[in-house]
Amino acid sequence: MKVTRFSGLNVNAADFDTTVKFYEDVLGATVNVRHQVAGVDVARMSLGGVGIGLFDASGGDRPGVPHHTFVMEWGEDMDATIKTLEGRGAKVEGTRQHGEGPGYSVYVNDPSGNRIELSTDPN
């Protein structure tokens, strides 16, 4: 199991539309897609080879946000991945299947409480 790249960061945006425009107009980011996660608007953007997920936090910070995403090399067995992480001292705080699979994400917090998404799409 190893990190292959930093994939992106996900942050709350209390003033969603203004924040999206800031990333576009000031920093030159590109909006790849807008969609909803758990009924909340999300703008998925690209900036300097990194993905940015802006979550509409006009109604309050979103659960699990902010977090940072790293792409990992793993197999298809999420349970084995969880056992490996726990064996290394991490506490798994959640998981998410990517569509129909086989990709998935595992969420852990570092010792300072920063949420990290460890993502894989094996094929």
Tell me, yes or no, whether 34 and 79 share the same domain: no
Q: Is 3 within a domain?
A: no
Categorize the per-residue pLDDT at 76 as very low, low, confident or very high, splitting at 50, 70 and 90: confident
In eight-state DSSP terms, residue 54 is E
Looking at 65, 85, 105, the residue that finishes a domain is 65
The pair of three-digit structure tokens given for residue 28, joined into one six-digit string? 């030159």
**Cα 112 to Cα 106: distance, rounded to the nearest angstrom:** 18
Tell me, yes or no, whether 60 and 37 share the same domain: yes
CATH of residue 29's domain is 3.10.180.10
**Cα 93 to Cα 58: distance, rounded to the nearest angstrom:** 25
CA angle 13, 8, 67 (to 5 degrees): 60
Q: Is 58 within a domain?
A: yes
**Cα 62 to Cα 55: distance, rounded to the nearest angstrom:** 7
Domain that holds residue 23: 8-65
Categorize the per-residue pLDDT at 74 as very low, low, confident or very high, splitting at 50, 70 and 90: confident
pLDDT above 80: residue 123: no
State the pTM of this model. 0.84
pLDDT at residue number 2: 85
> What is the tally of structural domains in the chain?
2
